[in-house]
Amino acid sequence: MTPKNTTIRATKLKGFFRHIDEGRFAIPRLQREFVWNGPKAAKLFDSIHAGMPIGIIMIWETPKTHRLFLRQKYHVLPKFNTKNGKVWFLIDGQQRVSVLYRVREGSTVMNARGKEIDFSRVVLSLEQEEDGQQIRYRMPLQGSYEPLAHVLHPYWSSRLSHLGKRDRQRGMRFGSIWMNPSARLPRCRFSSQWLPCMGVRKHAGGPCN
């Protein structure tokens, strides 16, 4: 039985992206800067692709007056939008949330160790990989290694329109981005994945609704 000020719920990844775009999340000063690298980012998405859990995201919902606790120099997620009535501090999971956002954007950032991470190199393999890891960190190759930024893009069908019938059949075979074998166009899978969230707050309701 969970306390009344704590909720545990699952939200679809596409809904989580909406919260990120709205600037609802904030990083507290006590949290470290972004330290992940490209291969680790790829493994996170490979776990999602395989239907494996990636851990609970812990969010502390506080009044906006607590925004003084914000880490001001964090540059990986969108800046907190002060128009939001509450602050959603990422207490646990900010590295994972940052990767989810940056892979979708396909952008390049510098981590806290001074290493440049090009998230457009997180790709989906349309071939069966020997080690079973279908999401990899490498240079994209059209028709073989497609950027996940294209898969997660709102206009993904146009971004992947270069894929022919053979490519679609390979994608369906390996359970990649096609869910309906009769579909003529690729259908995004990742955005429908569920992400578990734990919200801690002082009042009823809570984050990730």
Q: 208, 11 in Cβ contact below 8 A?
A: yes
Q: What's the rounded mean pLDDT across residues 160-184? A: 53
Question: What pLDDT score was predicted for residue 183?
Answer: 36
Question: What pLDDT score was predicted for residue 175?
Answer: 44
Domain boundaries along the sequence of the chain: 1-196
| Whether residue 172 has pLDDT greater than 70 | no
Q: What's the rounded mean pLDDT across residues 118-123? A: 97
Q: CA–CA separation, 161 vs 143, rounded Å?
A: 10
Tokens (6 digits) for 159 = 């971004």
Per-residue model confidence as pLDDT tens digits over 130-153: 999 999 999 999 988 999 998 888
Per-residue model confidence as pLDDT tens digits over 14-66: 889 999 999 999 888 877 889 999 999 999 999 988 888 899 999 989 887 76
CA end-to-end distance (rounded Å), the chain? 20
- List alpha helices for the chain, DSSP H: 13-21, 38-49, 94-105, 148-151, 156-159, 165-173
| Whether residue 154 has pLDDT greater than 60 | yes
Question: What pLDDT score was predicted for residue 173?
Answer: 45
Kindly report the average pLDDT of the chain as a whole number. 81
Among the ranges 1-15, 124-138, 147-161, which has the highest mean pLDDT value? 124-138
Q: CA–CA separation, 136 vs 39, rounded Å?
A: 7
Question: What pLDDT score was predicted for residue 174?
Answer: 43
Higher pLDDT, 201 or 103: 103
